[in-house]
Structure 1
């Protein structure tokens, strides 16, 4: 299985830190956030990782090299001056990701989830890792039902999407009709989010999930980065 680490965002909430450093290369616990992911992927037996870049994207390859130090092969995809968003990033990377299911990780989270335990062949279009709702996101995102499916509808308590999941390329099937006639969808290459595609798949019963009760942090502000750094050190 291959993996893609989303690394193209501008990190505007992390400024001034991200004025000179892309968010996944910010350091916590003595190493860049993205290196924590690369180490876990290597330990889980992954061999190829796609890293999509945009904002300050020329810093990634000098910082990470070709992946040899972790026993990985890294592929860098420059999306240009405007990030393609998460769905567009996957669509743009499909020639490298191939036809098989792949792992998705947000470059701006830190977690101890064991990616080796995630299903290599999800039952539907996606299998999501969900976590308890953090203070900054108390309402959560999705409902994890007793049968293991994930839903966006209903009044049951919600969990937060961890930014980690296994996806099939089929998550993008019919994306134009799902996204609608937006300016981003008409761009070349298209700019589109992943969330609408996930909700569409959920409505068709094609998303499963699991509740990760371990450690997880959305490193979205300088304060959260400082807290994570102190914890890891």
Structure 2
């Protein structure tokens, strides 16, 4: 199975750090943030990786290369400077690189110990999402985990989408090239009963601000 790392975001909340450095390359405890994702994917058995990029994307290609030194094979899906296609559009553009089989997608700006190798796409499903407990910055959550692991759009016990999921390419069958969000596709799959979820209770952080970047730095240095 192939995996895609989403790395095309502008990182506005990280300014001025991202004025000259793309967010995935911001250093944390001695190495770029995205490198932690690459290493975890490789340990889970994912060797063929696709990385999209937009803002200062050439720096990402220069820093990571073909992925050989990580034990991976990296292909890139450039979206053009300042023209990020949003999550849905970015994945759709990368489909020729991802191939006809289900694939994993993870945000490039999260840090977690999610076991990627344990994720499965149930027969008939178009998507399986990893959900986590709601963090302070997102207390309202996103989706509800219903009976037998099926995802629901509404309900009392909402959880937060971790930015990690398995997708069948058929999820994008009706899409056209261009910028568009992923959420409407997810909600359509949910309404069809073709979306499942997994509640991960391990470590997870959305590194969306300089403050959270600093928190992760402290955590990683304290673990050394």
Cα distance per residue 1:63-104 (max 9 Å; x no partner): 111111121110011101310111101110011101100000
Structure 2 residue 195 is matched with structure 1 residue 231: no
User: SS of 2:92's equivalent?
Assistant: helix
User: SS of 2:149's equivalent?
Assistant: coil
Structure 2 residue 28 is matched with structure 1 residue 40: no
Q: Please list, as runs of the form range in 1=range in 2, the aligned pairs for 1:66-145 lying within 5 A after superposition.
A: 66-81=66-81, 82-119=83-120, 123-145=124-146
Q: CA deviation at 1:148?
A: 0.3
User: SS of 2:179's equivalent?
Assistant: coil
Q: CA deviation at 1:26?
A: 1.0
Number of the residue aligned with 1:201: 189
Flag structure 2 segments of 5+ consecutive residues without an equivalent: none
Number of the residue aligned with 2:14: 14
Structure 2 residue 174 is matched with structure 1 residue 174: yes
Cα distance per residue 1:155-210 (max 9 Å; x no partner): 3210000000100001112236xxxxxxxxxxxx4111111110111111111011
- What CA distance in whole angstroms lies between the structure 2 residues aligned with 1:71 and 1:157? 40
Q: Which runs of 4+ in 1 moved over 3 A?
A: 120-123
Q: CA deviation at 1:122?
A: 5.7
TM-score by length of 1: 0.91
Contact 1:123–1:208 under 8 Å retained in 2: no
Q: CA deviation at 1:30?
A: 2.1
Q: Which segment drifts farther, 120-129 or 34-43?
A: 120-129
User: SS of 1:175's equivalent?
Assistant: coil
Q: Please list, as runs of the form range in 1=range in 2, the aligned pairs for 1:53-72 lying within 5 A after superposition.
A: 53-72=53-72
Number of the residue aligned with 1:164: 164
Contact 2:121–2:127 under 8 Å retained in 1: no
Contact 2:121–2:128 under 8 Å retained in 1: no
Q: CA deviation at 1:151?
A: 1.1
- What CA distance in whole angstroms lies between the structure 2 residues aligned with 1:202 and 1:120? 14
